[in-house]
Chains A and B, each alone.
Chain A
Amino acid sequence: MLKDHAKIIHAIAASEEIIGRKKLQKMVYIAKKLEFPFQERFQFHFYGPYSEELTLRVEELCNMGFLNEVKEKKGGYYQYRYTLTESGKEFLSLNEQVSMPKLQDCMSDMNSQNARFLELVSTILYFDNLPKEDVQEKVFTLKSKQRYTEEEVGTAYQYIKSLKGKAGH
């Protein structure tokens, strides 16, 4: 019951605090690609992999009082911070069957990266069925406004490799 909600709480608990909805989306997507059992379905949108189900689930968790959402004005747009509430912690302790022991390491690592880099990593993972040259072309055409460099793409590939190691692949 509510296992999928518990998994999202688990992911946020593992990160302590996540700043930014975009970052949260990309972290869960990358974790899913690392074969952590998140059920939310992602589609490619203008800004990379995005899950409407995840957006709604986070909204539900905030309404339930399990997640704390703080809205802050940042330049021309709003940014959101997510942390677990006490009730969220209690709910999680009652859902111990949602155990993902290697998630903590991966989420903490991703959380230390910026959203722009995670957007690149998630885009690379979205096209992981293509050869590296084609993926690079996709990144440069679909993400032209982000102006990623070849070097950054290379770093992202290295990063994916290290994350896979942490996830136990």
Chain B
Amino acid sequence: MAYPVEKLREEKVFKDPVHRYIHVRDRIIWDLIGTKEFQRLRRIKQLGTTYLTFHGAEHSRFNHSLGVYEITRRIADDVFHERPEWNEDDRLLSLCAALLHDLGHGPFSHSFEKVFDLDHEYFTRAIILGETEVNKVLLTVSNDFPIKVAEVIAKTSKNKLVVSLISSQIDADRMDYLQRDAYFTGVSYGHFDMERILRVMQPGEDQVVFRKSGMHAVEDYIMSRYQMYWQVYFHPVTRSAEVILTKILHRAKDLHKQDYCFKSDPHHFHSMFNGAITLEDYIKLDEAIVLYYFQMWQEEEDLILRDLCRRFMNRNLFKYAEFDPAKEYKKLAQLSILFQKAGIDPEYYLVVDSSSDLPYDFYRPGEEEERLPIHLLMKNGEIRELSRESEIVDAISGKRRTDHKLYYPADVLKDNSTAKEIKEEIRKLLEIDESRY
């Protein structure tokens, strides 16, 4: 039997808390899961620093990738199978792209990408096309199969239907992460009737469409997304941890630039510090390595690096205040000067974090063709954009979705052993409620 269609002698199943079982029958999927690049995803948490807010959120990108694969498999094998619009030849391409879509994510990738100007999409492509075990497995299908998979993930494939299965405003990726993140964080939002959504979806010319009869299930999914963004993904405590993590990386990078002599030399980070990271170095990075350095840097001579690492490792995070940049940017400049006077470096200890700094997106109805909207298939065959039919979706599509917070180390500001008067002034400006601490 040719490799692309070779089935395992016996179906393999993974127990999964979200989908109950993940079924693997294709030899290629089994082989891809076994590669070292895919196994690396076990050591990268799906939600980065969220575990510091929701202690259950320890699930990995490995779990999520299998989940996205399973949803895509169900769509291909149960929902689209034998439909005239669906090309069975696209099945394997869809399954591989679903399984590998997050392959290039690094540890705490949001912060790393910001500080070191990296792009996980670039590394996903590099792993799929480079000299890797994943590439070897994909090449057994055909010489151009790796590039086809990479193009689907990068959304540059001409096969738009397959792209929309993996990445659109309602896709296997989001359907898995919403449910999985809700399960592991323990929140009650994030649940929606995926079974119903799968039953009403069908392949369209260029994208998946949903029969109007299933609109309420789609509305429920959009509401879940909305709730999860505010309640989990934009959680201010998680953002505090993210701010500290980003500042640790900035500090380490700056110290390296100044030829600072680290007690624990971060040799795993050297190529990143120098802006010339190789694929080999990148694949070696995982959260265990990063946390090892944070653990060791708690003993560094540099007071800022030491303090930030202690804060991160021991969850002594920054406090926050609501911040309105329009009205308070002058106050921010004033605070920055006072921080300097008090001997607290504002570059590391006074941080504005905006919702646009976060990687999660809201549903957009595709104004001016910015993003492909969710399309409903009406009884008369007409295609209508979701928010034009659904009052609920229309209501939340136009709502204010921005938010800014100002982060600061409340414990340092409360310590009156140094710069007492200045700190008092800062506390007053920040309206810190003394009785809360």
Check B160–A77 contact: CB distance below 8 A: no
- A138: nearest chain-B partner, CB-CB: B156
- B158: nearest chain-A partner, CB-CB: A141
Between B158, B326, B368, B404, the greatest number of chain A beta carbons within 10 A of the residue's beta carbon is seen for B368
Check B113–A57 contact: CB distance below 8 A: no
- Contact string against A for B residues 152-169, beta-carbon threshold 8 Å, 1 for contact and 0 otherwise: 001110101000000000
Q: Is A165 an interface residue (CB 8 A)?
A: no
Number of residue pairs A-B, CB distance < 8 angstroms: 95
Check A22–B369 contact: CB distance below 8 A: yes
> Given that A43-B121, A77-B368, A91-B329 are known contacts, is A1 also in contact with B336, CB under 8 Å in the complex?
yes
Task: Pick the residue among A22, A65, A91, A127 that contacts B368 (CB under 8 A).
Answer: A22
Check B329–A50 contact: CB distance below 8 A: no
> Given that A56-B355, A60-B402, A94-B333 are known contacts, is A142 also in contact with B156, CB under 8 Å in the complex?
yes
Check A1–B332 contact: CB distance below 8 A: yes
Q: Is B119 an interface residue (CB 8 A)?
A: yes
Q: Is A166 an interface residue (CB 8 A)?
A: no
Task: Pick the residue among A39, A44, A64 that contacts B325 (CB under 8 A).
Answer: A64
Check A60–B356 contact: CB distance below 8 A: yes
Check A1–B367 contact: CB distance below 8 A: no
Check B329–A94 contact: CB distance below 8 A: yes
> Given that A56-B402, A57-B356, A141-B158 are known contacts, is A46 also in contact with B368, CB under 8 Å in the complex?
no
Q: Which residues of A contact B132 (CB under 8 A)?
A: none
A59 to B364, CA, bound (A): 13
Check A45–B372 contact: CB distance below 8 A: yes
Q: Which residues of A contact B336 (CB under 8 A)?
A: 1
Task: Pick the residue among B330, B355, B370, B372 that contacts A60 (CB under 8 A).
Answer: B355
A94 to B401, CA, bound (A): 26
> Given that A1-B332, A66-B326 are known contacts, is A47 also in contact with B369, CB under 8 Å in the complex?
yes
Check A25–B402 contact: CB distance below 8 A: no
B101 to chain A: closest CB distance in Å? 12
Q: Which residues of A contact B119 (CB under 8 A)?
A: 41
A76 to B356, CA, bound (A): 29
A32 to chain B: closest CB distance in Å? 11
> Given that A5-B354, A60-B356, A87-B326 are known contacts, is A44 also in contact with B155, CB under 8 Å in the complex?
yes
A67 to B402, CA, bound (A): 14
Task: Pick the residue among B154, B333, B371, B402 that contacts A46 (CB under 8 A).
Answer: B371
Q: Which residues of A contact B156 (CB under 8 A)?
A: 44, 126-127, 138, 142
Interface residues of A in 11-46 (CB under 8 A from B): 20-22, 25, 39, 41, 43-46
Task: Pick the residue among B329, B368, B400 that contacts A2 (CB under 8 A).
Answer: B329
- Contact string against A for B residues 19-31, beta-carbon threshold 8 Å, 1 for contact and 0 otherwise: 0000000000000
Q: Is B281 an interface residue (CB 8 A)?
A: no
Interface size class of B (residues with CB under 8 A): 35 or more
- Contact string against A for B residues 350-361, beta-carbon threshold 8 Å, 1 for contact and 0 otherwise: 101011110101
- Contact string against A for B residues 399-413, beta-carbon threshold 8 Å, 1 for contact and 0 otherwise: 011101000000000
Check B332–A25 contact: CB distance below 8 A: no
Q: Is A80 an interface residue (CB 8 A)?
A: yes
> Given that A41-B113, A59-B402, A91-B329 are known contacts, is A47 also in contact with B352, CB under 8 Å in the complex?
no
Q: Which residues of B contact A64 (CB under 8 A)?
A: 324-326
Interface residues of B in 352-386 (CB under 8 A from A): 352, 354-357, 359, 361, 364, 367-372
Check A5–B402 contact: CB distance below 8 A: no
- Contact string against B for A residues 57-88, beta-carbon threshold 8 Å, 1 for contact and 0 otherwise: 10110011110000000000111100000010
- Contact string against A for B residues 298-332, beta-carbon threshold 8 Å, 1 for contact and 0 otherwise: 00000000000000000000000000111001101
10 interchain residue pairs of minimum CB distance: A56-B356, A64-B326, A57-B356, A60-B402, A52-B361, A141-B158, A46-B372, A65-B326, A21-B368, A44-B155
Extra pairs beyond A21-B370, A80-B367 (13, CB < 8 Å):
A1-B329, A2-B352, A21-B367, A43-B154, A45-B371, A46-B160, A47-B369, A50-B370, A56-B402, A59-B401, A59-B402, A64-B326, A141-B158
A-side interface residues toward B, CB under 8 Å? 1-2, 4-5, 20-22, 25, 39, 41, 43-47, 50, 52-53, 55-57, 59-60, 63-66, 77-80, 87, 91, 94, 126-127, 138, 141-142
23 A/B residue pairs, CB under 8 Å, sorted by A: A1-B329, A1-B333, A1-B352, A2-B354, A43-B154, A44-B156, A45-B372, A46-B369, A50-B370, A53-B357, A55-B370, A56-B355, A57-B356, A59-B402, A60-B354, A64-B326, A66-B326, A77-B367, A87-B326, A91-B329, A94-B330, A127-B156, A142-B156
